[in-house]
Amino acid sequence: MTVVLQSAAPLLVAGVAVLACLGMAWALGASSNSPPFAPAVGANALPTMRAAFFIGVFAALGAVAQGGSISETVGKGLIDGVSITPLAATAALLTAAGFIAAGVRTGYPIPAAFATTGAVVGAGLALGGGPAYDTYQRLGTFWIAVPFVSATIAYATATLLRREDVPEELSVSLLSAIVGFVLANVEFTFIPVEGGTGTLAGYLSRALGGAPVLFGSYDALAFGVSLALGAVVFVGVRREMRRSMDAGIRRFLIGLGAIVAFSSGGSQVGLATGPLEPLFDSFGTPGIVLLGLGAVGILLGAWMGSPRLLQAVSREYSQLGVRRSIAALIPGFLIAQTAIALGIPFSFNNVIIGGVIGSGLVVGSAGVSARKIGITVVAWLGTLVGTGIVGFGFYRALAVVTGAG
């Protein structure tokens, strides 16, 4: 009997780790994947419950299509010298999910990247691993830059949209063309290439025979495809705005929210699935299966838990109009895709909140709650340190209880 129990213990721990992954993905769907549609809700372009439905669908699709790079960083790049075990993954995921759930309950968005990174590092150190200083430097630089870059892009975009000498029909259509151009150059798991994933522009370029290289592996034909997609989006949005200016802008806002939610799923799912990368690799399981597991959790979390955070971000940080909402979403999309390309986990709350603040400053600081922002920043810093301490202690406690240490 003792032998049977001992042989079953690893499978039991692995099962608990999978459940913890689902729980973390649920928390991400309820928290970090909520902000992309918050500007649309704040601008009364979409009801809260319908926004929650769309968040789940698009974030889950993005998780499967774009989640691999960040998942690998979280699972293999945060600790040197050891591989994250199922027990360490369980401790880290439960710790991070607990912090995020507390944020959902209180209405203060907890940055999932801080929570997961701190918890994984804490559990990994308790496991006997060493700090991955190079990775921490990359993450820290990116995290510090994100709110400032996001606020700056949002401020510039909002300023452009308010210029009286630039027709709104033209400015909004140009922004949509930029989004279309970038979309042609983002990587998707369903476009495989040798050594990784591919882009729509690259795929069509190869299918058409290629063209002279402009820089790196990016050729003139891929650039032409990107321009063509941007032009198609430009024409479509402009046509909608000519039919009805207000309706066209609102539809663009909702479409942009869907694209950002998709990007959010791709950038956030790795925070849930990353700690299980070593476990699934040991079984030879395709990565898409692990991403699909995370996508299911995100879908359920968005449908069940996102409305509260939608209200918190959309109503309490700044009173947004439709145009300022567009300005808040543009940097979210650009930064999310940059992070995915670099394999850097980050907090989507951080990006969207920075965008909301930047767009709000165009009309003065009265619409931005300084107290709310201050409390949120303190909560973010406390999350990174707190999850590290709790993750370390939690793993040690589980190791004693299970006899792993």
d(CA 200, CA 180): 11
Asked if pLDDT for residue 137 goes beyond 60, the answer is: yes
Q: Which residue did the predictor score with more confidence, 164 or 269?
A: 269
8 Å CB contact between 116 and 344: no
**pLDDT at residue 6 in the model:** 44
**pLDDT at residue 121 in the model:** 96
Q: Which of 79-83, 112-116, 310-314, 387-391 has the lowest mean pLDDT?
A: 310-314
The CA distances from residue 145 to 5, 35, 108, 307, in Å, are 50, 19, 21, 28
**pLDDT at residue 315 in the model:** 62
**Above pLDDT 70, what percent of the chain?**
88
The chain-wide mean pLDDT, for the chain, equals 84
pLDDT bin (cut points 50, 70, 90) of residue 3 is: very low
Asked if pLDDT for residue 349 goes beyond 80, the answer is: no
* Domain spans of the chain, in order of start: 2-402
Asked if pLDDT for residue 203 goes beyond 50, the answer is: yes
**14: its two tokens:** 């692995």
Asked if pLDDT for residue 85 goes beyond 80, the answer is: yes
Asked if pLDDT for residue 366 goes beyond 70, the answer is: no
d(CA 241, CA 136): 45
Paired strand residues for 188: 198
d(CA 213, CA 221): 9
pLDDT single digits (tens) 213-253: 877 778 889 999 999 999 999 999 999 999 988 888 888 88
d(CA 188, CA 197): 6
**378: its two tokens:** 């303190």
8 Å CB contact between 162 and 208: no
**pLDDT at residue 370 in the model:** 66
8 Å CB contact between 8 and 284: no
| Tokens 């600790």 belong to residue | 79
**pLDDT at residue 357 in the model:** 72
Asked if pLDDT for residue 12 goes beyond 70, the answer is: yes
184 burial class (0-12, 13-18, 19+ CB within 10 angstroms)?
buried
- Taking every pair of Cα atoms in the chain, the longest distance, rounded to a whole number of angstroms, is 81
8 Å CB contact between 192 and 198: yes
Count the neighbouring beta carbons within 10 Å of the beta carbon of residue 381.
Answer: 11
d(CA 228, CA 300): 36
Paired strand residues for 192: 197
Asked if pLDDT for residue 365 goes beyond 60, the answer is: no
Asked if pLDDT for residue 143 goes beyond 50, the answer is: yes
d(CA 243, CA 290): 44
- DSSP E strand stretches across 29-153: 79-80, 130-131
**Coil, strand, or helix at residue 130?**
strand
